[in-house]
Amino acid sequence: MHYISALHGSGVGKLFTPITIAYTNAGTKFSTSVLNKILEKANQAHQPPPVKGRRLKIKYVNQTDVFPPTLTFHGNHLQNVPNSYDRYLKNFFINALKLTNTPIHIEYKSGDNPFKDNKNSLNARQIAKRRRLMKFSKKK
């Protein structure tokens, strides 16, 4: 917050310094390795909470856009990240990257299961074994 006077014009000269700092912060590109080190520190300080009995696994993060800086987190089960952990990550990254007056946009991407629609087909030996075992279970 900066105070300026409309009557005297005092404080206007001091206003442009934070504006240029915020503009340079918003246009800065961060390397993926730096972001992943910050993510590792964030996970060590506070692990992601379990959602629906499953622990969130954030594997890596990269910057996908500037103005505002957009960070994309990749991992498993990231569809339902709690708001509290989302705010924690935003604040942790803002403090670690030393961003002032710059909002951060966060996106989450979860990988799809590559074996989701594949049905396991049995070979001839497995089918014979299954039939043989079914004979024993039917007799009892």
The chain-wide mean pLDDT, for the chain, equals 87
State yes or no: cis peptide before 82, omega within 30 of 0. Answer: no
SS3 (DSSP) at 33: helix
Please report which confidence band the pLDDT of residue 35 belongs to, taking 50, 70 and 90 as the band edges. very high
Residue 86 belongs to domain with CATH number: 3.30.300.20
Checking if the pLDDT of 79 tops 90, the result is no
Give the CA angle between residues 29, 96, 52 to the nearest 5°.
100
Which DSSP state fits 81? -
Is 74 inside any structural domain? yes
The answer as to whether 77 is a domain residue is yes
Give the pLDDT confidence of 95-109 residue by residue, as tens digits. Answer: 999 888 888 999 999
Mean pLDDT of 72-93: 91
Number of compact structural domains in the chain: 1
> What is the reported pLDDT for 86?
92
The Cα 119–Cα 105 span in angstroms is: 39
Who has greater pLDDT, 18 or 88? 88
Is 137 within a domain? no
State which residues form the domain around 48: 19-113
Q: What is the pLDDT of residue 138?
A: 66
Q: Is residue 105 part of a domain?
A: yes
Is residue 14, in this structure, part of any structural domain at all?
Answer: no
Higher pLDDT, 90 or 15: 90
pLDDT of amino acid 126: 93
The answer to whether residue 80 sits within a structural domain is: yes
Q: Is the pLDDT of residue 140 over 60?
A: no
One DSSP character per residue, 4-31 reads --TTT-TTSTTTHHHHHHHHHHHT----
Which string of b and e fits 42-71 if b means at least 16 CB within 10 Å?
Answer: beeeeebeeeeeeebebeebebeeeeebeb
9 lies in a domain? no
Instruction: Give 74's pLDDT tier (boundaries 50, 70, 90).
Output: very high
Does residue 125 lie in a domain region? Answer: no
